[in-house]
Amino acid sequence: MLRRALLAIVLPACALLFPAIGATQGFKPQNPECIAPAAPGGGFDLTCRTTARLLNEYGIVGPAIRTQNMPGGIGAVAMNQVIAQRRTDPNVIVAVSTGSWVNLAQGRFGRWTENDVRWVGAIGADFGVIAVRKDSRFQSLADLMTALKADPGSVPIGAGGAVGSQDWTKAALIAKAAGADPRRLRYVPFEGGGQSMAALLGGHIQVFPGDASEVQGQLAAGEIRLLAVLAPNRLPGAFAEVPTAREQGVDAEWTIVRGFYMPPGAPDAAYEFWVDAIRKLQGEPRYADARNGAGLFEYNLAGAEFDALAKQRTAEYRQLARDVGLVTQ
């Protein structure tokens, strides 16, 4: 009798003190779903489909994860739908990238901000590059910055997306570091990296602020030169001889993180399940080859670290948008 009485007191107390342990261990997703906030093809779609396949293939997540494409506003439609209609859904993760943070910073997701979702983790990253044709008059990043400082409109620069996009922002960082007004850049928008590269090779633009993954083939073929990689450190392989902007005295970095967020009301147990799933994926020995095959470099952040990064970067992009006059608040 006494033992039963003690258990009646102790067990509920333990449940109150340690609710997350049992809950996390007991959570299993039902009909899990990855939302790719874009049409099939491209980075968001690749993020969802590759991650879903590997999580299942490696036995990290049991039920098959389906991918749902939800294009619109480069992520705005997906975020509004998830927050408004699936606020507590524990079974959904949404693909995100640095471009999403740029749009959040510029208010393009309506009233939602970086504080309105739960940031899960990253599966890898790409990095910005400053590319020119092999016969370009710009032999170094310093040459380009000198030209921009003298006359920002004298250098045709082209990339995917309009003014304010992440590719434009890479060029804006270089112009700003040169002491030039980014609003005076001669910027030509294209639909994506393929069109931008064709324009560079055809001589229609002189500089392409692209991504390492999308220029790798032309770099290996010797058709282009890279003035800088916008990474914290030199990249491996074909990029090993390309200096970073920081090595050249320019404080410009552009990391294109690819990862996921969850609805803001998702239970803690579900959030911890998906964070743990991403950590297990990052630690899987077979993952390196799969990640490299998807054109991504190692970038392992999850949980609180990824949450801090998302909020820090969005705040930085918001300040940059203010500095160049894209937003006023």
pLDDT in tens, 286-312: 999 999 888 899 999 999 999 999 999
The answer on 309 and 232 residing in a single domain is no
In a domain, 22, yes or no: no
Q: Are residues 132 and 237 in the same domain?
A: yes
Tell me what pLDDT residue 1 has.
42
Distance CA 25, CA 46 (A): 29
* CA separation for the pair 150, 179 (Å, rounded): 9
Q: Please tell me whether residue 256 adopts helix, strand or coil conformation.
A: strand
Q: What is the dihedral of CA 95, 100, 105, 106, to 10 degrees?
A: -140
Say whether both 177 and 274 belong to one domain: no
Phi-psi region of 70 (alpha: psi -120 to 50; beta: other; left: phi over 0): beta
Same domain, 137 and 224: yes
80 and 174 in a common domain: no
256-265 burial by CB neighbour count: b if 16+ within 10 A, else e? bbbbbbbbee
Higher pLDDT: 187 or 99? It is 187
Q: Which of 254, 281, 306 is the last residue of a domain?
A: 254
In this predicted model, what pLDDT tens digit does every residue of 24-79 receive, in sequence order? Answer: 457 999 999 999 998 887 788 889 999 999 999 999 998 999 999 998 887 899 99
Q: Provide the 8-state DSSP code for 64.
A: P
pLDDT of residue 329: 65
In a domain? residue 60:
yes
My answer on whether 132 and 118 are in the same domain is: no
| Alpha carbon distance 90, 29 (integer Å) | 7
Same structural domain, 249 and 261? no
Residue 3 placed within a domain: no
Alpha helices in 162-267 (DSSP H): 166-178, 193-201, 212-220
The Cα 260–Cα 91 span in angstroms is 13
User: Which of 189, 188, 187, 184 has its CA nearest to residue 152?
Assistant: 184
In a domain, 74, yes or no: yes
The boundaries of the domain holding residue 291 are 31-125+256-323
In a domain, 265, yes or no: yes
Q: Indicate if 198 and 111 belong to the same structural domain.
A: no
Is the pLDDT assigned to residue 161 strictly greater than 90?
no
| pTM summary value | 0.79
| Residue 178 sits in the same domain as residue 246 | yes
Do 141 and 247 reside in the same domain of the chain?
Answer: yes
Look at residues 236, 254, 272 and tell me which one is the last residue of a structural domain: 254
Could you tell me if 96 and 154 lie in one domain?
A: no
Q: Is residue 20 part of a domain?
A: no
Residue 96 sits in a domain whose CATH number is: 3.40.190.150
The answer on pLDDT for 21 being more than 60 is no
Report the alpha-carbon distance of residue 113 to residue 76 in Å, rounded: 11
